[in-house]
Every structure is written in C-alpha cells, then in structure tokens.
Amino acid sequence: MHKNHTKKHIAIVVQNLHNGGAERMAANLSAELAKYYEVYLIVFDAADAIYPYGGKLIDLKVPPLQEGSVPQRVWNSLSRIRKLRYLKKRLKIDATISHMDGANLVNILSDMGDRRISVYHSMPSFETTDAFADRMLQRAIGHCSDRYLVVSGPALQDMHRNFGVPLDKLQCIYNFVDIPKAHQMMAEALPQETVDFYQRHDKVIVHAGRLIPLKAQQRLIRILGGFRAQGKNVSLVLLGEGEERGKLEECVRKTGVEDHVLMPGEVRNPFPYFKHADVFALCSVYEGLPMVLIEALACGCPVVSLDMPSGAREILAPDTDVTQTAQEIEYAKYGILTPPYREVPQDSAENAEAERTDTWAEGKLARALEEMLYRQEIRQKYLSSCAEAAAAFSEERIIAQWRELIEG
C-alpha cells in the first residue's frame, strides 16, 4: 500500500470504550500517540463510551452478538474485517494496534500492508477454556502479527512456553499512567453523597474493576464484615459494573454491611476516589498488569494486593523474581503482597482443604489491610513511596517504547 504522508497514520482497534482495563488502555494510548502521529481510534461499538481518547474516533457499529447462530457470528466477524480493510486502505494506515483476541483476529485478517501489532492484556493460561483451540488461536495471532505484545513478564513466558508463540514475535510493554493528568483529575470533586459516605467512616478501602468472578470482590466484603464485627469504623467502595453485581449485593446484605459499602458503578473519573481513600485493595484470581494499582499509587493511595499470577509483583516488588509467590505477608518495596487464594473446582475432593486454605489466605489479606490502615510506621513508609512506584510506569517511559516499536 503506497503511502506519501509525512506523519505516520496509526489505527488503534478495540471492542468498546467502556468495559475494562484493556479498553481504557487503548483509549489512553490513542491520546498519547496522537501527540506524534495521525491516530484513528477504531471501535467495533462506541455506544456508551466513557473513556477519554485522542485522535479521530471511528465507530464501526458492529457490536458483539449477545445471541446468535454460528453463521450470524461468522457474518458479524466478516463485517468487521471488511470494514477495517476498507478503513486501512482509505486512511493509508501505516500500523494497526489491536487490543485483545477479537480485535487481534480482525487486525491480522485485514492485512493491507500495514504493520500489525496485537496486544494481549491478561495471563493467557488463566483465560483458557479450550486448551487446544486457545493454543492454536494465540499461536496464529502471534505468527501473523508483526509483533505480539503482552503487558507483563510472566505473560510473555506463558505465551511462549504454553502457547508456542515465538520469542522473536513477543515483546513486553507495560501499561502506563499519565501522571500529570491523574493529578489533575484527582483534584475534581466527588459527588456529595460519596463525600458524605467517606466522612461517615474513619477508614475507607477502595477497589476498582469489573464486577466479574475473577475480580472476587466478595473477599473484600467478607473482610469488611470482620472489621465491622471488631468495632472498626471501616467502609468499602467498589467501583465498576458487571454480571456479579446482584451476587455481590446479596453478599453485602448477608454480611450485614449495607450501610458501609458503596457501589456507584462505572465512574468516568476514579482518581478522586483513590485520592481520598486510605488503602487500595486488589484481590483478583489473576491479572495481566493491573493498571488500577499504578493509578492508585499515582494518586498517593497505598496498596495491598494478593500476589496473584502476573502483574502485582512487577509493580510492588520490581527487584524480586517475578515468578516467586508470597508465602506469608510480604512487605514489598512499594506495597504489601499477601499469599494468593487456592482455587479448586467446587466438586473436587480437595475442596474442604481448599476452603481452609482460602480462609487462611483471606486472614492474611485482612491482616495486611489492617496494618496498612492502622500501623502508622507501615502506612507512612508506603505513602512516601507511592510517587516513586508510579514513576516507573509514566507515559514518558512507556510511550518511548511504543514509538520505537512503531518506527521500527
């Protein structure tokens, strides 16, 4: 494809602009790359978009099918490929950056001589539902992309060892935070009802993420119940929306903490919630590179996280081996890590032991949160290191790597 423009034309392809960390990262990337290139943010379905972006937004208006036959789903995918091929040709795209499997497939199947860069935002082995099919899918994306990016060291190793993606196709580029923008946004006022909620409680724990099973927010609700039973005036703010809302609300009712949990849904600007909280807690089964941890640190909010596979250790304990796992409470360089929960199928013969192990792991997480909230020497140590921790993921550092990749 002949191109005669002076500025490179970059397409960024993503499913939507409202549904999670990968989508938010795509929006953030568009804003930063638009400072250097002609950027087109191409979205399969831009309805309900809430994330700020840069460049020109193009809505393909081909949302995912919630229900439909195999032929209908195939037609849906072919429509996306056809529209993206047309746009690549018309806009004279030099490089296309796609995020997550659906967009990655459309990207590699709409080759128009552009440099195709696919991005995977999670830990592939934990996303697998059909081992053979998923292995073939990731291998195909890896082979057909000019570069396959992951967002953490463990994810890179996993993609190579367990999915057969060649190392010469793989590269790790971390997610980033626009720190000056975060500081600007965290100065915005919270809704008055949220201000009242914060003021009614001595301590506030905040969490942000989709309300889906792998985020496991019920763990924090149970821990809050324990704190309230001890007479501690602690509350919990859960930012995000998703399929588990009903179950989490039921967990709140059963735990008896209705007046002490705030669930405002998806919010346009989470940064003031982080700024005014006492600790950010992450309790996921797994992550890719949890951007919310970096964002909380950028807002000066100390963090406690399970040492789940991938992500948290690279942020909070960057000088350690990313393959190791906390066996006890670990007072890492930039935050507290606690042992991950043990997950086994509900009908497993090991389930009783798993329940005891989960209770043990939950106790460690609760203890770490209590220490971050109430032990001033620990709290001050981590408050003073927030800025340094976030700086490793600044937009200047990470965008320099993106520009090198695009120019290469």
Tokens of 300: 């000066």
Identify whether the C-beta of residue 108 lies closer than 8 Å to the C-beta of residue 88: no
How would CATH label the architecture of 9-175+394-407?
3-Layer(aba) Sandwich (3.40)
Q: What does pLDDT average to in each consecutive run of 10 residues of the chain (408 residues)?
A: 76 90 92 97 92 95 78 88 97 97 95 96 77 86 96 92 94 94 96 97 97 93 97 97 95 97 95 98 90 96 94 94 93 97 54 62 96 97 97 95 94
Distance of CA 218 to the CA centre of its chain: 18
Write the pLDDT tens digit of every residue in 149-194. Answer: 999 998 999 999 999 999 999 999 999 999 999 999 999 999 999 9
Kindly list the domain boundaries of the chain, sorted by start residue: 9-175+394-407, 179-391
Write the pLDDT tens digit of every residue in 339-377. Answer: 998 764 444 444 555 555 588 999 999 999 999 999 999
What length is written for the chain? 408
* H-assigned helices in 4-123: 21-33, 70-90, 100-108
Write the pLDDT tens digit of every residue in 12-36. Answer: 999 999 877 789 899 999 999 999 9
Catalogue the E-assigned strands of 124-202: 147-150, 170-172
Same topology for domains 9-175+394-407 and 179-391, yes or no? Answer: yes
Distance of CA 308 to the CA centre of its chain: 13
Q: Please, what CATH class does the domain formed by 179-391 belong to? A: alpha beta
Distance of CA 364 to the CA centre of its chain: 24
CA dihedral sign of residues 97, 101, 106, 111: positive
The mean pLDDT of the chain is 92
How far from 214 is each of 120, 127, 219, 261, 408, CA to CA, in Å? Answer: 17, 10, 11, 20, 36
- Could you give the dihedral angle defined by the CA atoms of residues 12, 15, 19 and 24, in that order, rounded to the nearest 10 degrees? 0
Residue appearing with tokens 């890896």: 142
Distance of CA 103 to the CA centre of its chain: 17
Cα separation, 376 vs 52, in Å, equals 37
